[in-house]
Structure 1
């Protein structure tokens, strides 16, 4: 049996009313004991409890906070891998965000087989709400995006990726499109977008329309080639042998492939995530 690793974790909480003291755990920060360079952070994907406590909660800001904390931890970890000061910049971020509405608990100890496995367990124990059997299954783009994030998290690369990448950085001001995630291994930038072909193909057409400008813009701004990948449902998941659904599906795939968009299905996600793990040297 592999020896367990001595770890420390902090819970990140949303506190809409400091006077009342009510809170909802929204994330976990985990690291090997005394090692700032090993720290990883994970936030919830289900903001229902936060919205229930505070209907006006800025969910977009809270989601962006996860990426900001992750980036700060990686920067500090390089400068001070053995120092406890790795947590101080995180506290500064939290203090600057929504006043005192986002807080971090005192450190707690735990033993872990691995950091990815342990943060998954801590999220289930302290953060994620219990799933009820009657919960409606996510479908369409939401299901694809959730599966994509899950696979990248399992590979340990989600925290290293850019999220919600604004197309306007590469096309023109006012472009509302956001690309789900991406990373840059070497001279190529890989971006991934969840595209559902279950109901209609408008999302596929929109991505195909934007692809040439995105590719040209990435080359101009980043001096790199863009490999744009669309993640879609398998054909059998949307067609059920209906001719119209099959034709719609094929039309969407072909529209994207004509613009040099790589199209892969949910069945290929594990392989895509493994490639990212290797390229990002996790």
Structure 2
């Protein structure tokens, strides 16, 4: 039996009114105990409880905060900065976002423990069950993140990659995630992944297909690299039981993207993509 590692975690809370003191847990920070140890952060992907408490909540800002905290934690670890993690986080948080005191735990590994803490404190069981039955872009995005996290590469990837630097100013598109390959056999390659739901509507597929040539040219110009763009979709059996209208829409969406050299994979292919990322990022 593998020995469990001592860790500590902090809950991140959204507090829309500090006078009332009401809050909802939105994320977890988990780190190995002692020194400049490994650390990770994860926020919820389901903001329904936040919107229920505060209909004006800036969810985009909260999602961006997760990335900022993750980047700060990584810099602290890489530089072996002795500054306490609490101090690093408090520098990042606004008055409406608070962090609890550290709590101790024993972990088999960080990704597994993070999953457990998220289920216990951030996403109640009844919510997790509902999410497991969801289809659509949100469910695909969650599956993509989960697979890359299990492979141990999520923290090394770029998230919500703005298209504007590669296409033109004002382009609102953001690609879900990606990374630049660092392995010797594929230097000069950037991989990007984007969740596209083909359940009932193929507009997202058409938008991504339209943007792909400009993205590809822009990555070549800005990063002197080849772009390998992947769309992640539901398996056809999840959206179409037979060869009817839904089946035709699904095939149209896939073929529209493939004509623009977008690799289309389903949820069942994610483990292979994550393993490739692990190898290419030298994890």
Q: TM-score, normalised by structure 1?
A: 0.91
Distance in 1 separating the partners of 2:39 and 2:53: 29
2:118 corresponds to? 123
User: Structure 1 residues 270-279 or 224-233, which shifts more?
Assistant: 270-279
TM-align CA RMSD: 1.9
Counterpart among 145, 159, 168 of residue 149 in structure 1: 145
Distance in 2 separating the partners of 1:252 and 1:132: 30
1:76 corresponds to? 76
Unaligned segments of structure 2, at least 5 residues: 183-187
2:204 corresponds to? 203
Unaligned segments of structure 1, at least 5 residues: none
User: Structure 1 residues 30-39 or 136-145, which shifts more?
Assistant: 136-145
Judging changes above 3 Å, is the alpha-carbon distance between structure 1 residues 76 and 135 closer, same or farther for their aligned structure 2 residues? closer
Distance in 2 separating the partners of 1:52 and 1:236: 34
SS in 1 for 2:201: coil
Counterpart among 155, 158, 162 of residue 158 in structure 2: 162
Aligned-pair CA distance for 1:181: 1.1
Distance in 1 separating the partners of 2:115 and 2:33: 18
Alignment of 1:233-248 (within 5 A): 233-248=234-249
Distance in 2 separating the partners of 1:14 and 1:33: 25
Q: Does 1:263 align with 2:258?
A: no
Aligned-pair CA distance for 1:243: 3.7
Distance in 2 separating the partners of 1:243 and 1:56: 41
SS in 1 for 2:141: helix
2:30 corresponds to? 30
Q: Does 1:194 align with 2:195?
A: yes
Aligned-pair CA distance for 1:84: 4.6
1:10 corresponds to? 10
SS in 2 for 1:36: coil
Is the CA contact 2:196–2:205 (under 8 Å) kept in the aligned structure 1?
A: yes
Alignment of 1:262-281 (within 5 A): 262-281=263-282
Judging changes above 3 Å, is the alpha-carbon distance between structure 1 residues 54 and 167 closer, same or farther for their aligned structure 2 residues? same
Distance in 2 separating the partners of 1:211 and 1:239: 26
Is the CA contact 2:41–2:69 (under 8 Å) kept in the aligned structure 1?
A: yes
1:114 corresponds to? 109
User: Structure 1 residues 4-13 or 126-135, which shifts more?
Assistant: 126-135
Aligned-pair CA distance for 1:132: 5.7
Aligned-pair CA distance for 1:219: 0.8
Distance in 2 separating the partners of 1:134 and 1:231: 22
Aligned-pair CA distance for 1:134: 8.6
Judging changes above 3 Å, is the alpha-carbon distance between structure 1 residues 267 and 4 closer, same or farther for their aligned structure 2 residues? same
Is the CA contact 1:8–1:107 (under 8 Å) kept in the aligned structure 2?
A: yes
Q: Does 1:103 align with 2:98?
A: yes
Q: Does 1:88 align with 2:87?
A: yes
SS in 1 for 2:229: strand
Judging changes above 3 Å, is the alpha-carbon distance between structure 1 residues 268 and 107 closer, same or farther for their aligned structure 2 residues? same
Deviation per residue, 1:116-151 (Å, 9 max, x gap): 111111111111133169947322222222221221
1:214 corresponds to? 215
Deviation per residue, 1:194-229 (Å, 9 max, x gap): 112221322212111111100000111111111100
Judging changes above 3 Å, is the alpha-carbon distance between structure 1 residues 144 and 133 closer, same or farther for their aligned structure 2 residues? closer
1:177 corresponds to? 173
